[in-house]
Structure 1
Amino acid sequence: MSLSRILLIASLFVASPAIADDLIGRASVIDGDTLEIHGQRIRLEGIDALESSQPCTHRETGQNWRCGQRAALWLSDLIGAKTVTCTPAGTDRYKRTLARCYVGGQDISAAMVRNGWAMAYVRYSSRYEPEEAEARKSGVGIWQTEFDPPWDWRRSRRKPNAMN
């Protein structure tokens, strides 16, 4: 094999975005849809988890609880001390990396939605709608409660712009 051919093949591997751009390491959980690896914030693409301080009301008991906090704890348990691999797909308006992330070969976003700790963020992607339908039907996680979708809850907390 000629040297030029070897260099061409090697350059294809180096230039491959999936290989060059993956973020791999032990992740810290920021909230139910945000991780940090090596100091870089990563927003799980295609899902939206309830905010850490967001409450839910259990349908049977009427008890309020911080289901957004519980989502983050569930995510932390899922990841544990395992290596997480994230494949970036862009950035969001807060300059976080948007990515699909995996632990032990499992799509983290799919697991969050399937287990009722996040919603499919259909405004941006329909990828996790089947998992959400499964979670709703099973009544797991947030689907056993009354809650506002996280995008509505955040909007209701924003301060209106002052009119001058």
Structure 2
Amino acid sequence: MRALAVSFALILFSSAIPAAAQPLVGVASVIDGDTLEIHGTRIRLNGIDAPESDQLCRDAVGNKYRCGQKAALALDDFLKARRLASCIEVDRDRYKRMVAVCTAAGVDIGEWMVRQGWALDWKRYSAGFYARAQREAMAARRGIWSGSFTAPWEWRKQAKAQ
């Protein structure tokens, strides 16, 4: 079932990619909760948004913690256990980074991050593709859903305004 979902994600997000596009495959380094680097290429995971590295959230009892840092560490642990990542480019962002759907050992990395509660389904770019995974994380109170947080896109707006 998961392989079917990953295949669907790749088809959905890669429909605008030329047929000759080859996946970028390699050992991924984690930049933050939604950005990887493979062979010197920065890759923004398509359709998700994770807390920023210096973003603070509150846990279930109200204590502040560095949720962006925890998201990055969770992603790093996930990737270390799987060794190689494979990314198919779907776009370029305003910083000219590759935006891609990435998998590791057949698992959609973006979906995994959302399901674990360390990233949000960014409907603006995902068309709600990760909404089900987000509902699961919310119901289970995983990751940032265990307490309170500001959506990363809103947090960036607030930080920019200050």
What is the TM-score normalised by the length of structure 2?
Answer: 0.85
Offset at residue 21 of structure 1 (A): 2.5
**2:74 matches 1:74:** yes
Q: In the alignment, is residue 145 of structure 1 matched against residue 147 of structure 2?
A: yes
Return structure 1 stretches of 4+ with deviation > 6 angstroms. none
Query: For residues 131-160 of structure 1, what are the alpha-carbon distances to aligned partners after superposition, in whole Å with 9 as ceiling and x for unaligned?
Result: 001100110000011110000000001147
Tell me how far apart the structure 2 counterparts of residues 111 and 43 of structure 1 sit (CA, whole Å): 15
Range with bigger deviation, 137-146 or 151-160:
151-160
> Who is 2:31 aligned against?
30
SS at structure 2 position matched to 1:130 = helix
Aligned amino acid, residue 41 of structure 1: R
What residue is the counterpart of 1:91 in the other structure?
Answer: 92
Match of residue 158 from structure 1: 160
Gaps (5+ residues) in structure 2? 1-17
RMSD: 1.3
Superposed CA offset, 1:35-68 (max 9, x none): 0001000000000000011011112x22110011
Paired residue total: 143
Distance (Å, rounded) in 2 between the aligned partners of 1:158 and 1:16: 39
* Distance of 1:157 and 1:53 partners within structure 2: 10
Name the CA distance, whole Å, in 2 between partners of 1:88 and 1:120: 18
Match of 2:116 in 1: 115
Amino acid paired to 2:132: P
Counterpart of 2:148 in structure 1: which amino acid?
Answer: E
Partner SS for 1:42: strand
Contiguous gaps of at least 5 residues in structure 1: 1-14
